[in-house]
Structure 1
Amino acid sequence: MSTLSNLKLVNSKKPTSIPPILQRRNKLSNKVWEQIQLAKAQREGGTFTVKRFKTIKDQEGSRKSIEIEKRVRQWWFVASDGKVCLNVRYGAKVIEFAKGKTAIEVATGDELIKALEIVKGAVEAGELDAQIEQASGAVRAGFGK
C-alpha cells in the first residue's frame, strides 16, 4: 500500500455524454491536427493520408470491414503576392476570425505549421467557440432545405 500512497486518489464518475460544444471543439481540433501533419509531410516531400474503416458487403452478402485512405484537402493556398493564406474550415464553412477576416497570412511553410499549432491551441482553449457555433449552425441550416 506504500506505493499507492504517493498517488492522489479521488472518487470520480465517467460522464455519459459530452456537451455539444466539446464535441465540435474536438472535431475541429482533429481536423487542424490533420492539417499540421499534411503541412509537415509536404515540407518533407512526402504524403499524408488518414486511414479509416468502411463496412462493405461482398458477393456472398456478408459484411466485412476494410481499411481505406481518406483524402485530406489542404486549407491553405498561395496568394498572388506569394504569401501563404490559411482558411480554417468547419465542415464546408470557412471560420471568420474577425469581421471580414477569414484567412491567416504567413510567409513560409514553417510559419504555416506554427500558425496551425496556434489555431489548434486556441480551439482547445475554447477561444473559437462562438465561431464554431456559428459555422455549425450554418452547416445545420444547409441540411434543412
Structure 2
Amino acid sequence: MSILKSLKLTNAKPVRSSDNPVERARDKVISALVEQKAMAEAKIAGQHFAPTHMVWRKGADGQRVQVEAPKRLRAGWFTDASGQFFFGLRYAGKTIEFAKDKNAVTIGEFANLPGIIDKLIEAVRAGELDDQFAQASAERGSMLRKAN
C-alpha cells in the first residue's frame, strides 16, 4: 500500500493577510489599541505589563538566532498641566486628529480608559478613521521618498 494513499489529501490554500491597505491599517491600529488597553488595565490593577516579541540576534557563536525580547511600547495616554488624563492615537508616525483640531480624547478618571479604548476599536472597525489613516500614511510615504 502506498504511503500517500494512507494520508488524507486535499486542495487547500493558506490564509493571507489582506492586500487591501485600508484593512491592513485598521488591523494594525486595532492591535495597537488592544496593547494599549492591556497596558492600561495592568496599570489600573497595579501590575507590570511587559509584552515580548521575537527578534533576531547574534548568538555567542556568531550565528543568528531568534530570541524573545521585551517590546517597547509608548503609552497613548498623557496628562496636561492640570493633571487631567487624555488619550491620543498615533499612526504612521503622526498623531491622528479625530475631528478638526481635536487630536485627543478626554478620559477623566484613568479607570475609564479601557472603555474608551473599546469605543475607539469599534470606531476603527466601522471605518470612521480611514481618511485620517490614509492621509497619515501618504504624508509618511512622501517624507520617506524625500529622504532617498
Q: For 2:29 and 2:114, how far apart are their aligned partners in 1? A: 16
The size of the alignment, in residue pairs, is: 134
Corresponding residue of 2:89:
88
Shift of 1:112: 1.5
User: Is the partner of 1:140 in helix, strand or coil?
Assistant: helix
Q: Is 1:55 the equivalent of 2:56?
A: yes
Q: For 1:34 and 1:67, how far apart are their aligned partners in 2? A: 17
**Equivalent position amino acid for 1:138 in 2:** E
User: Is the partner of 1:46 in helix, strand or coil?
Assistant: coil
The answer for unaligned runs of 5 or more in structure 2 is 1-12
Shift of 1:135: 1.2
Shift of 1:102: 0.4
TM-score (norm 2): 0.82
Corresponding residue of 1:3:
none
**Equivalent position amino acid for 1:30 in 2:** S
Shift of 1:108: 0.7
Q: For 1:63 and 1:49, how far apart are their aligned partners in 2? A: 24
CA separation of 1:16 and 1:32: change in aligned 2, threshold 3 A? closer
Give RMSD over aligned pairs: 1.9
Shift of 1:82: 2.6
Corresponding residue of 2:22:
21
Corresponding residue of 2:111:
110
CA separation of 1:21 and 1:43: change in aligned 2, threshold 3 A? same
Larger radius of gyration: 2
Q: For 2:14 and 2:122, how far apart are their aligned partners in 1? A: 25
Corresponding residue of 2:72:
71
Greater shift, 57-66 or 28-37, is seen at: 57-66
The answer for unaligned runs of 5 or more in structure 1 is 1-12
Q: For 2:22 and 2:114, how far apart are their aligned partners in 1? A: 25
CA separation of 1:64 and 1:90: change in aligned 2, threshold 3 A? same
TM-score (norm 1): 0.83
Shift of 1:56: 1.8
User: Is the partner of 1:122 in helix, strand or coil?
Assistant: helix
Q: Deviations over 1:69-121 (max 9, x none)?
A: 11211011112233211111113210011111101112111222111110011
Corresponding residue of 2:36:
35
